[in-house]
A and B are shown apart, each in its own frame.
Chain A
């Protein structure tokens, strides 16, 4: 008899404890912020495009003489008892519409590049919500997706923790300080960290909220479709082929294979229904997310909902692993590029600080000419040759000097990719070489950093065993 009471009580107590443990591990475990940074970047680009397009009809959409005039908006807001509804656009008179719109573009640009990202994420969310509320007649599914993701980026304040100018500036300050302060062969080894963004609870919260919201969207959307025979009969996808106002291209030729249409219909339905369950087991996650991205690409092609598809694909990046995303940029285990620079030159140190700040994967090793035996880096190098200009060694025995070395570095540093791509073009290379040589020839040098190096600071031969991008692994 006693066990009948203590048994269930003990079970409920265990259940409560394990629920608390599971909740804590799910929401409050630090996570890699790289996917959050990529989501911010992707969403920011989409929003910039959205607002650029909005600008084509600025007065028609947001002006007092627009499709939704303030009188009608107020009527519906009051009629629905929307006391908590708000829009900053209601404070903007027509005469200030263009400056306010320009300010929105600036905020969205800052949000995209991740500058002052805690503030600009909140402002970007306020802009999106304000616009939806001011012009509800232009609102559709795309705005719902954008608003959802943006809310989580703004609320958690984690959008700038990776792939952002905020992080770049923070790294640059520390690197600049370090490279100016210390004089050693490899001044950037150790003190500035390995470049990997630190896991954070706020990034985890952001990712978890987006993930859970996606599960609600797909799961409930799938279940709702079960009410309609067209999904059971497999004709739903076929019905989109004839969607005259939406379809950007005529795909009716696909109707030659009705069974294929049915596969697409049933596949989309069951993908939506099972997404909330199957996306969680790690072995299935890449498959489910890839299928979901395919589904959205299909929607984009058949219905022309490009921006909606892009927003949903960006949201699905919340399931991507941070190390894997970083490896797409830095490679899996790239051979480091060893760059010998003149540590006595403030210009060189400044350039190194910028390049190193933009290279979180640390694919470039920086070696101070004034504190090292350059022959140990490569037998073909000499101190005189290195003083003429920066030298880049690698991959293998390849040596590039001057502007060629700058271009080689730019190819490794994501922020400098445009220079890396354009720098080798005929004309650009010659012009760049001339410019580089002019700057390098007249560069000032700090006499205090040209003397002999204290004992024990000469570099060992070969690359140091650290500062490599980590191998991809599943996000915890």
Chain B
């Protein structure tokens, strides 16, 4: 009779170990489900329960709501940065840059634009200039200043890249047309986030 390879030194765990692990399982399961249920729209009770696990989410990188594409494909925010250099020339940077490869690198830069979009939505605006007081925008501008020696000023914009509706796609397909998703009509207005001096 062949002997099985040794594993954990026995088939079962002692009762105290099962009890301890069961307590952790209940804690973890409650935390994971509470986070998912606390996503909007949710009740005050659901949010209050999830709030009790904030320490847990921070510690273990949990607490995600996993609501991927619940409303279909939304417009994609694109970050544009206008760089003005001391020698008078200027340059525009698009984030994400679609020439970036591999794909995961492009996705990371897409996340950078998404993150700014979310922060700008929440951040207050300067009552005088109308510019956003987004902290991430300031951080991005500082990065661009350092990445581009000689740059004296960075102006950030967000612009939505809109998607043709499914009905437009169906109509175009029936007529044998292809839709150019780079057509200007599929880009929203540029929203100025703010101008940042590289001397600051």
User: Contact residues of A with B, CB < 8 Å?
Assistant: 23-24, 27-28, 30, 33, 49-50, 53-54, 56-57, 60-61, 65-69, 71-72, 75-76, 81-86, 128-129, 132-133, 136-142, 144, 147-148, 151, 161, 171, 190-191, 193-202, 205, 209, 212-213, 216-217, 220-221, 224-225, 227-228, 230-231, 235-236, 238-246, 248, 250, 252-256, 258, 261, 304-307, 466-467
For residue A246, which residues in chain B have a CB less than 8 angstroms away from its CB? 73, 76, 110
Smallest Cβ-Cβ distance to B139: which chain A residue: A72
Inter-subunit contact A252/B178 (CB<8 Å):
yes
Inter-subunit contact A60/B135 (CB<8 Å):
no
Bound form: Cα–Cα A75–B12 in Å: 48
Bound form: Cα–Cα A196–B2 in Å: 10
Q: Say how far A259's CB is from chain B's closest CB, in angstroms.
A: 10
Residue tally, chain B, CB below 8 Å to A: 84
Q: A242-B165, A258-B166 are in contact. List 6 more A-B contacts (CB 8 A).
A: A139-B115, A198-B5, A213-B32, A224-B39, A225-B69, A238-B166
For residue B59, which residues in chain A have a CB less than 8 angstroms away from its CB? 84-86
6 cross-chain pairs, A with B, having the tightest CB-CB distances, nearest first:
A238-B166, A198-B7, A72-B139, A194-B2, A244-B181, A84-B58
Q: A56-B105, A250-B178 are in contact. Are A243 and B5 (CB under 8 A)?
A: no
Inter-subunit contact B72/A231 (CB<8 Å):
yes
For residue A209, which residues in chain B have a CB less than 8 angstroms away from its CB? 25, 28
Q: Say how far B1's CB is from chain A's closest CB, in angstroms.
A: 8
Q: Say how far A186's CB is from chain B's closest CB, in angstroms.
A: 13
For residue A133, which residues in chain B have a CB less than 8 angstroms away from its CB? 61
Binds A, one of B85-93, B169-177, B188-196: B169-177
Whether a CB of chain A sits under 8 angstroms from the CB of B111 is yes
Inter-subunit contact B179/A252 (CB<8 Å):
yes
Inter-subunit contact A69/B143 (CB<8 Å):
yes
Name the residue among A197, A228, A239 with the largest chain B CB count within 10 angstroms.
A239
For residue B174, which residues in chain A have a CB less than 8 angstroms away from its CB? 256
For residue A243, which residues in chain B have a CB less than 8 angstroms away from its CB? 73, 76, 163
Whether a CB of chain A sits under 8 angstroms from the CB of B43 is no
Bound form: Cα–Cα A239–B70 in Å: 12
Inter-subunit contact A245/B96 (CB<8 Å):
yes
Name the residue among A72, A151, A228 with the largest chain B CB count within 10 angstroms.
A72
Bound form: Cα–Cα A27–B12 in Å: 11
Smallest Cβ-Cβ distance to A218: which chain B residue: B66
Inter-subunit contact A244/B163 (CB<8 Å):
yes
Q: A65-B142, A200-B7, A243-B163 are in contact. Are A57 and B105 (CB under 8 A)?
A: yes
Smallest Cβ-Cβ distance to A70: which chain B residue: B139
For residue A205, which residues in chain B have a CB less than 8 angstroms away from its CB? 21
Inter-subunit contact B104/A60 (CB<8 Å):
no
For residue B200, which residues in chain A have a CB less than 8 angstroms away from its CB? none
Bound form: Cα–Cα A53–B67 in Å: 26
For residue A238, which residues in chain B have a CB less than 8 angstroms away from its CB? 166, 169-170
Name the residue among B5, B147, B163, B179 with the largest chain A CB count within 10 angstroms.
B5
Smallest Cβ-Cβ distance to B112: which chain A residue: A137
For residue B108, which residues in chain A have a CB less than 8 angstroms away from its CB? 53-54, 57, 61, 138, 140
Interface residues of B in 14-69 (CB under 8 A from A): 18, 21-22, 25, 28-29, 32-33, 36-37, 39, 41, 54-56, 58-62, 64-69
User: When the two chains form the complex, which single residue of B68, B72, B103 contacts A221, counting CB atoms closer than 8 Å?
Assistant: B68
User: When the two chains form the complex, which single residue of A67, A193, A254 contacts B3, counting CB atoms closer than 8 Å?
Assistant: A193
Smallest Cβ-Cβ distance to A231: which chain B residue: B72
Inter-subunit contact B13/A306 (CB<8 Å):
no
User: When the two chains form the complex, which single residue of A85, A221, A304 contacts B67, counting CB atoms closer than 8 Å?
Assistant: A221
User: When the two chains form the complex, which single residue of B4, B142, B172, B173 contacts A69, counting CB atoms closer than 8 Å?
Assistant: B142
For residue A252, which residues in chain B have a CB less than 8 angstroms away from its CB? 169, 172-173, 178-179
